[in-house]
């Protein structure tokens, strides 16, 4: 007999397939203020999260809360305009529920974006950083509890959570587009508070280049399910700084909006060569 989770996933995917019959190859999750990629795709179907059985609802400004299906660069894609976060009060299993839905709908490759604070002094606001690895010790692992063998193995290997092949392709695209793409390590934290100065120093000491409140749990669930993952952080604020200014969510959204055309072009080109 199927577990409650697998029953819910089956009901969710059946609902979506009844509305949109095509099989998406690529799944895309857009971070805070990074929703304009949808303007580049040919949208064939739009479903609000509130319509989808067992789906959480996005509660954060900058996350619109809808699932879009259609074509981008000749590929069938499904795009989450608005993600879920642990800090909203959702369990990690709820945060990654959409990733598992994507897998069951046929998605093979997952593209993730996020707004992040930099702890690397070489980065500037508006820069893009390709995530080559992450530190997840400060977040709750979404695979805790009974393992669903239908989704993946009990002890998934995490030595390459972000595809080296896709990273290499992204660098080629970046060179062609004239972008200075960084490559570094994303540190996942729970939020919703921005980090203290001491926490920024700790993250820098353990090897993090940027820090954010998303992505890590999604990447773990996608790796568990056998999907290829590619992720980019948009640097929206500088964490370690000498002055006394504070960080606000409004400033993060504004910085993300400014850098968004670069991210959109990168994802569009990358999708075309997958």
Q: Residue 254: what pLDDT?
A: 78
* Closest among 133, 122, 128 to 215, alpha carbons compared: 133
Provide the pLDDT for residue 62: 56
Least Cα distance to 117 among 218, 252, 217, 262 occurs for 252
**Is the Cα dihedral 14, 17, 23, 27 positive or negative?**
negative
- Residue 235 C-alpha from the chain's centroid: 14
64 HSE (CA, 13 A, CB side): 17
Domains of the chain by start residue, with CATH: 4-13+23-244+255-272 (3.40.50.1580)
pLDDT of residue 243: 64
Q: Which residues pair with 116 in a beta bridge?
A: 235
What is the reported pLDDT for 31?
Answer: 82
> Position of tokens 């997958």?
274
Q: With contact defined as beta carbons under 8 Å apart, do 238 and 118 qualify?
A: yes
For position 271, what pLDDT does the model report?
A: 97
Q: Contacts from 141-146 at CB under 8 Å and sequence distance 24+?
A: 141/92, 141/217, 141/220, 142/92, 142/93, 142/95, 142/96, 142/217, 142/220, 142/221, 143/220, 143/221, 143/224, 144/92, 145/93, 146/3
**How would you write the pLDDT of the chain (274 residues) with one tens digit per residue?**
669 999 999 999 999 999 999 999 999 998 866 678 888 999 999 999 999 999 987 666 655 688 999 999 999 999 998 889 999 999 999 999 999 999 999 999 999 999 999 999 999 889 999 999 999 999 999 999 999 999 999 999 999 999 999 999 999 999 999 999 999 999 999 999 989 889 999 999 999 999 999 999 999 999 999 999 999 999 988 876 666 667 777 877 777 777 888 999 999 999 999 9
CB crowding 247-272: b at 16 or more within 10 Å, else e:
eebeebbebbbebbebbbbbbebbbe
Strand partners, 246: none
Cβ neighbours, 10 Å, residue 155: 9
d(CA 213, CA 85): 7
Q: What is the reported pLDDT for 239? A: 77
């Amino acid at each position: 007999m199927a577990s409650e989770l697998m029953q819910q996933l089956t009901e969710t995917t059946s609902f979506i397939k009844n509305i949109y019959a095509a099989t998406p190859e690529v799944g895309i999750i857009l971070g805070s203020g990074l929703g304009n990629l949808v303007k580049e795709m040919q949208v064939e179907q739009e479903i609000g999260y509130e319509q989808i059985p067992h789906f959480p609802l996005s509660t954060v400004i900058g996350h619109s809360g809808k699932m879009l299906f259609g074509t981008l660069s000749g590929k069938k894609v499904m795009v989450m305009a608005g993600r879920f976060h642990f800090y909203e009060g959702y369990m990690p299993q709820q945060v990654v529920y959409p990733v598992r839905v994507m897998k069951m709908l046929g998605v093979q490759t997952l593209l993730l974006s996020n707004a992040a604070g930099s702890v690397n002094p070489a980065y500037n606001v508006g820069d893009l950083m390709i995530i080559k690895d992450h530190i997840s010790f400060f977040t709750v692992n979404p695979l805790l509890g009974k393992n669903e063998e239908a989704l993946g193995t009990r002890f998934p290997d995490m030595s390459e959570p972000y595809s080296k092949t896709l990273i290499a392709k992204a660098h080629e695209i970046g060179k062609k587009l004239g972008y200075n793409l960084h490559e570094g390590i994303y540190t996942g934290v729970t939020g919703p508070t921005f980090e203290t100065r001491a926490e920024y120093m700790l993250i820098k000491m353990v090897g993090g280049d940027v820090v954010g409140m998303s992505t890590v749990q999604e990447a773990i669930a996608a790796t568990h399910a056998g999907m290829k993952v590619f992720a980019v952080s948009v640097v929206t604020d500088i964490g370690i700084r000498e002055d006394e200014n504070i960080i606000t969510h409004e400033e993060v959204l504004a910085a993300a909006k400014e850098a968004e055309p670069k991210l959109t072009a990168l994802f569009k080109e990358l999708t075309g060569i997958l």
